[in-house]
A and B are shown apart, each in its own frame.
Chain A
Amino acid sequence: NAGVMQNPRHLVRRRGQEARLRCSPMKGHSHVYWYRQLPEEGLKFMVYLQKENIIDESGMPKERFSAEFPKEGPSILRIQQVVRGDSAAYFCASSPRGTGDYEQYFGPGTRLTVT
């Protein structure tokens, strides 16, 4: 049973370009969470999605960031017109349920570097 998969593992973008990060949850999991980790800091929640629905986007910056989790395929975190401050590790996690006491399984992360 494959774990949470994220790709790419490393992504380098120039300022102004778009970054597209992908996350495939564990088999049987329909709840996906995105977190961002700045250097030397803990993870910060960004967005929580179920298939075809955004449930909680309270941690998403208001501009340039968007997320989706289509009926088929991976969840996508999209950052438009990247700036240096977007450089961070982006982690995706999945769980089998959205409520109750379920652990979240994390992917290896995508490390975004904006030059």
Chain B
Amino acid sequence: SQQGEEDPQALSIQEGENATMNCSYKTSINNLQWYRQNSGRGLVHLILIRSNEREKHSGRLRVTLDTSKKSSSLLITASRAADTASYFCATSLTGGGNKLTFGTGTQLKVEL
């Protein structure tokens, strides 16, 4: 399996519910970032969490990082139809410069 795998691959929820996506990685990282991509569009940066941080918040987003388990989670609270998109985690690897290694993504669908 590759560095940065999201779970689940697809998630369908009702508006107002919370959505949780997980990301696992294999090697030591400098930081982990979450991006959103709407269908056919570019990527929008959501949150960057450093390797020495455990949790970060931004609006309705909460990201956790567990370096001992090499995993991260993205929680979107009170989801909206506009949150429908693909979500990717990306890692900046120790000694890898600043290039990002992306996961395979979670497709989130929020239904009215």
Nearest-neighbour CB distance to chain A for B63, whole angstroms, equals 13
Which residues of B have CB within 8 Å of A43? 43, 88, 90, 100, 102
Kindly supply a per-residue 1/0 record for chain A positions 22-41, scoring 1 wherever the CB is within 8 Å of any chain B CB and 0 otherwise.
00000000010101000001
Kindly supply a per-residue 1/0 record for chain B positions 42-66, scoring 1 wherever the CB is within 8 Å of any chain A CB and 0 otherwise.
1111001010000000000000000
Q: Which residue of A lies closest to B104 (CB)?
A: A42
Within B1-48, which residues are at the interface with A (CB < 8 Å)?
Answer: 4, 30-31, 33, 35, 40-45, 48
B contact residues vs A (CB 8 Å cutoff) = 4, 30-31, 33, 35, 40-45, 48, 50, 88, 90, 92, 97-105
Which residues of B have CB within 8 Å of A98? 97-98
Name the contact of B43 in the complex, choosing from A91, A101, A102, A111 (C-beta under 8 A).
A91
Which residues of B have CB within 8 Å of A105? 45
Chain B binding surface, main DSSP class: strand
Nearest-neighbour CB distance to chain A for B38, whole angstroms, equals 11
Please state if A45 and B101 are interface contacts (CB–CB under 8 Å).
Answer: yes
Taking A45-B100, A107-B42 as given, write out 10 further A-B residue pairs in contact, using a Cβ cutoff of 8 Å, ordered by the A residue number: A35-B100, A42-B88, A42-B104, A43-B88, A56-B99, A91-B43, A101-B31, A102-B98, A104-B33, A105-B45
Please state if A33 and B42 are interface contacts (CB–CB under 8 Å).
Answer: no
Kindly supply a per-residue 1/0 record for chain A positions 68-110, scoring 1 wherever the CB is within 8 Å of any chain B CB and 0 otherwise.
0000000000000000000000010101011111111111110
Q: Which residue of A lies closest to B99 (CB)?
A: A45
Identify 16 residue pairs between A and B in the complex whose beta-carbon atoms are under 8 Å apart, listed by A's number. A42-B103, A42-B105, A48-B99, A91-B43, A93-B100, A95-B98, A97-B98, A98-B97, A100-B98, A101-B31, A101-B50, A103-B33, A106-B35, A106-B44, A108-B42, A111-B40
